[in-house]
Amino acid sequence: MKLGKMLPIFSMAVSALLSAEAPPTAGTIHIYRNRLSIRQTLHPLVSCDLFPVVSIQNGRVYTMKASAGRHVFRTTDDQPGLQVDIEPGKEYFVRIEFPPNSPYDVRASPVLVAPEQGRMEVEKLRPLDARYIQAATCGNP
């Protein structure tokens, strides 16, 4: 057989092996903040399991991996936080929001959003600037 004929066969075999990788052990988290006209200059610090992850900008999104299991997302202002049970291979959308018509001293808090709604909201946003990223992951991805 000629080398030219074997190369595509070898290429297909390698592709098949690569696509049969181990199942994912982490979930994907999208932390975002819708673009709002209120409190534009604030960058609430978002932490996961008490480790700082990002300072979220207005109208931006940050995507990261998190190991399977329970994780707690907090802002510096939200003490109880949001518990999320991460399953491998699934997507989660955590929106950082300020309550509407609230006094200025009321701060941001994380809210878990349904995947369908989260995908639509995230499509409109830009990626978070690198200088606002504190840590690349949460847990052990």
Q: How far apart are CA 138 and CA 72, in angstroms?
A: 10
Provide the CATH number for the domain around residue 87.
2.60.40
Q: Per the domain annotation, does 53 fall within a domain?
A: yes
pLDDT of residue 50: 85
Q: Per the domain annotation, does 54 fall within a domain?
A: yes
pLDDT of residue 141: 47
| Paired tokens of 62 | 């940050």
Q: Per the domain annotation, does 2 fall within a domain?
A: no
Among candidate residues 121, 26, 42, 41, the one with its CA nearest the CA of residue 75: 42
Torsion-angle region of 14 (φ positive above 0: left; ψ -120 to 50: alpha; else: beta): alpha
Q: Per the domain annotation, does 137 fall within a domain?
A: no
Range of the domain at 34: 23-132
Q: Per the domain annotation, does 139 fall within a domain?
A: no
Provide the number of structural domains found in the chain: 1
Q: Per the domain annotation, does 128 fall within a domain?
A: yes
Q: How far apart are CA 11 and CA 43, in angstroms?
A: 47
Enumerate residue ranges in the chain where pLDDT < 70: 1-23, 37-40, 77-79, 101-106, 136-137, 139-141
Q: Per the domain annotation, does 113 fall within a domain?
A: yes
